[in-house]
Chain A
Amino acid sequence: MRKASPRILSIVGLPRSVFCLPSSALRPRPLAGWIVAAVLGCLAAPGLAAQEKSTRVLALTGSYRKNGEAVRDAFKFVSTGARNSVVEVSVDGKAVALGTVVEADGLVATKASELIAGKLTAKLASGRVVDARILATDEDNDVALVKIEAKGLTAVHWNDGETAPGEWVATQGLDTVPDAVGIISGIPRKILPPRALIGVTFSSVGETPLVDTLVPGSGSARAGIQPGDTILAVDGKAMKTRTELIAAIRELPAGRVVKLQLQRGTEVIDTSVTLTGEAVINAAQAQAAGRGGRGVAGAGGRGGRGDRNAQMNLMGSGVSKRADEFDLVLQHDTVLEPWQCGGPLLDLYGRAVGLNIAHAGRVASYALPAKLAQKIIADLKVRPAP
């Protein structure tokens, strides 16, 4: 359950006895547990001459990182009570999400989009595995209410209060310490739906919407758009400038089929294109990312995004399938895997300030704030079974 212990990536940790500590690099304070690693070079201490071939560079051992065992161990008091309010939800024996116990006799809230078809089970902190079934689903915020065949659980204690940036948050799994810890990164906010794109970049010459390139993974190629085409109209409405066209497309959701009128040489061509969600394009590009090309401005026109940003965002940890469009979220910096969402996000008292709902990228995990989560759960409880 616990995440693999963080690696010392660039440097290889070796037993302390292998190296002597350069006195200039560590203070005389007892720092039990610091481990030394070595790399050749000449940059550890400024006083060293360039000729010195092998100067040691120290690295913090994994255990003492923010998410190392030693630090997470300090949260064991947070986990003591709370772990009985968490289950691990599996489909056909494979863990897909964590779940938050909302009623002691087996009512659990979890992340709906992870519950793919198959045999649903839930594992308790005790290790026992029980059957589970979906009672109701809230599509808007991706929450499912699940009944598990267990009694005598502990309903999670919610903390409805406000959170402030910098507060510790712990993502609790079934273990005696949290799976991962982090801090609240900012003020609660709404997460908008992903931007929908035609999937072209425009030439920056002039103001006319002259297609420069097609964005891989988007609907533009399938629609038969070609570089050099000028987009004359969207859904019958004439588009004189790029800005006008971008504004028009921004209003539309992903999946919408849009009629385009193109000018190709002297020809005028009518076609239609399915607008593609930004995340879909990003994922496709990240997968295909071979050569670091230019960022993709797309129909959104915003620079600094595109393939490299997307690629980066996917680096380091999996991103949840559904990571957009939530009414309100707490953003925190905990690095989670998609299957670690659905459980409670705890404060230092072991109370849930939220329900983890997505790992949205390299720097962001989202949790539905406690108030919103409780409201959704209350609504789901009275919703008739499907």
Chain B
Amino acid sequence: MSARPGIAAIDNKSVSATVLSTSFTSMRSLCERAVLAAFRFFAGAVLLVSPVGLSAGEAPVVAASPAVPAIPAQPKPAASLRLSAVFRKPAPTTITELRTIETRVKLVVAQVSPAVVAVTLRGPGNSNAVISGSAVVISADGLVLSAAHVGGTPNRDVTFTFPDGRTAKGKTLGTDHDMDAGLMRITDAGPWPFAPVGDLTDARLGDWVVALGHPGGFDPQRPVVARLGRIIMKTAKTMQTDCTLLSGDSGGPLFDISGRVIAIHSSISATAEDNFHVPITTFMETWARLANGENWGTPVLTAGGRGRGGAGGGVGATGSVVPEGVRIDTVNPTGRAQRVQLQAGDVVLKFNGKAVTSPADFLTQLGATEEKLTVTIKRGDRQLDLDYTPNTGRGGRGGVVP
């Protein structure tokens, strides 16, 4: 992974805010979001807090704090924290290596747990509903990273509960619903326990990671719940691990094996060990906007993994590779695959006239296409062309989990 402006900035305190606010082009953003949505969709991802109806897309609200907080500097790992060779191996092979991992995981959990807070706030319009999620404090004066779908909108009153039971008042700052990144701050006087932020320049597939949070909400009986996993997939915009997550974990931190925050829990999938996180880099790239209390973007997902908007659903199918193309293994009753009239057992030969070889490619394209499309299939002995015109509903953003 090459260095990125946002990442560089974490290491270099003198980099100006201009660099940090580097925004991606709308074209690229759209494309990335489509794929991000596709990833999440395939996994049937669902967000981790109660669906209290996010009111995204409102005009930016300037947050309570007049001073725009800077990104906390990333501490240089001490020499004593240099990683053992086992962390470079595809898998541990001996008990000694397992013990090396264990020692490190125990250390991380013990060191950073005090900074992992539960977040509660009232639903939109100060309704009676209570949203509860997780978050992590990243500076002594109380800057807090969470997920956009926890905070919802800027300038809302929040209560933070620390694992030791202490509570603190605060406000939501900026919320980036495109990436599900949210910044908050504790308004009560600190200092507060905090965890260092890391970067992703070193992060690789297979890295061991520790997920912490408050699944199901704060419970004084078991203050912070620790889970171990590895990075399964990562892009600039999302990260997937096999750490288990549950509602209430949303906004909680994912730590690298050096105890630095590298991502924030965002959504889960149908299987227990496939879950999604917002990479720390997305916070760094949009730091100035988040710190300014801006609110932008549209949630990629809604409750239950169902997409929003006219097209609804998402793709709703799984497939596997066969010699002629891609065989459809399952079709979900509410997805686009069903509307296209694909059936389990169909073998997809072509998509818009082009040969199909990969289920992931095919299903992503099927979900992302906003114009009339044709799927050529073999059903039994017959070859059929299935034509379909997506109803994109929300202009311009139809397609993948619209």
Q: Given A9-B269, A164-B106, A292-B51: A333 and B226 within 8 A (CB)?
A: yes
Instruction: For A236, list chain B residues within 8 Å (CB).
Output: none
Which of A185, A294, A304, A348 gathers most chain B CB within 10 Å?
Answer: A304
Which of A25, A37, A59, A77 gathers most chain B CB within 10 Å?
Answer: A59
CB distance from B113 to the nearest CB of A (A): 8
Closest to A57 in B: B235
Closest to B272 in A: A316
**Cα-based distance from A73 to B90 in the complex (angstroms):** 12
Q: Are A70 and B360 in contact (CB under 8 A)?
A: no
CB distance from A230 to the nearest CB of B (A): 17
Q: B132, B210, B358: which contacts A12 (Cβ < 8 A)?
A: B358
Number of interface residues of B (CB under 8 A): 101
CB distance from A140 to the nearest CB of B (A): 18
B19 at the interface (CB under 8 A from A): no
B68 at the interface (CB under 8 A from A): no
Q: Are A363 and B245 in contact (CB under 8 A)?
A: yes
Give the number of residue pairs across the A-B interface with Cβ within 8 Å. Answer: 294
CB-defined interface of B21-60 with A at 8 Å, one 1/0 digit per residue?
A: 0000101100110111011101100101111100000000
Closest to A349 in B: B95
CB-defined interface of B331-371 with A at 8 Å, one 1/0 digit per residue?
A: 00000000000000000000000000011110011000000
Q: Given A64-B90, A66-B242: A186 and B204 within 8 A (CB)?
A: no
**Cα-based distance from A172 to B273 in the complex (angstroms):** 19
Q: Are A42 and B31 in contact (CB under 8 A)?
A: yes
Q: Are A166 and B274 in contact (CB under 8 A)?
A: no
Instruction: For A57, list chain B residues within 8 Å (CB).
Output: 35, 233, 235
Q: Are A185 and B226 in contact (CB under 8 A)?
A: yes
Q: Are B52 and A302 in contact (CB under 8 A)?
A: no
CB distance from B201 to the nearest CB of A (A): 11
**Cα-based distance from A70 to B129 in the complex (angstroms):** 45
Instruction: For A220, list chain B residues within 8 Å (CB).
Output: none
Q: A74, A78, A186: which contacts B222 (Cβ < 8 A)?
A: A186
Which of A71, A73, A164, A303 gathers most chain B CB within 10 Å?
Answer: A303
Instruction: For B92, list chain A residues within 8 Å (CB).
Output: 71, 74
A255 at the interface (CB under 8 A from B): no
**Cα-based distance from A57 to B248 in the complex (angstroms):** 29
Closest to A49 in B: B28
B78 at the interface (CB under 8 A from A): no
Instruction: For B51, list chain A residues within 8 Å (CB).
Output: 292-295, 308
Q: Given A39-B38, A304-B131: A65 and B273 within 8 A (CB)?
A: yes
Q: Are A333 and B233 in contact (CB under 8 A)?
A: no
**Cα-based distance from A60 to B132 in the complex (angstroms):** 32
A364 at the interface (CB under 8 A from B): yes
CB-defined interface of A29-66 with B at 8 Å, one 1/0 digit per residue?
A: 10111100111111111110010001001111001111
For chain A, which range describes its interface: under 10, 10 to 19, 20 to 34, or 35 or more residues? 35 or more
CB distance from A98 to the nearest CB of B (A): 19
CB distance from A351 to the nearest CB of B (A): 13
Q: Are B129 and A189 in contact (CB under 8 A)?
A: no
**Cα-based distance from A348 to B97 in the complex (angstroms):** 11
Q: Given A312-B268, A316-B270: A302 and B217 within 8 A (CB)?
A: yes
B325 at the interface (CB under 8 A from A): no
- Give the interface segment out of B286-294, B300-308, B390-398: B300-308
Instruction: For B35, list chain A residues within 8 Å (CB).
Output: 39-43, 57
**Cα-based distance from A168 to B40 in the complex (angstroms):** 29
Instruction: For A335, list chain B residues within 8 Å (CB).
Output: 244, 272-273
Give the contacts of B65-107 with A (CB-CB under 8 A).
88, 90-95, 97-99, 101-102, 105-107
Q: Are A31 and B90 in contact (CB under 8 A)?
A: yes
B379 at the interface (CB under 8 A from A): no
Q: Are B31 and A41 in contact (CB under 8 A)?
A: yes
**Cα-based distance from A304 to B35 in the complex (angstroms):** 30
**Cα-based distance from A268 to B43 in the complex (angstroms):** 51
**Cα-based distance from A54 to B51 in the complex (angstroms):** 34
Q: Are B31 and A64 in contact (CB under 8 A)?
A: no
Q: Are B204 and A50 in contact (CB under 8 A)?
A: no
Closest to B216 in A: A309
A195 at the interface (CB under 8 A from B): no
Instruction: For B230, list chain A residues within 8 Å (CB).
Output: 60, 64-66
Instruction: For A331, list chain B residues within 8 Å (CB).
Output: 222, 225
Q: List 6 A-B contacts (CB under 8 A).
A: A25-B1, A31-B90, A184-B226, A303-B128, A316-B271, A362-B246
Q: Which 4 A-B pairs have the closest CB atoms?
A: A316-B272, A292-B303, A303-B130, A41-B35
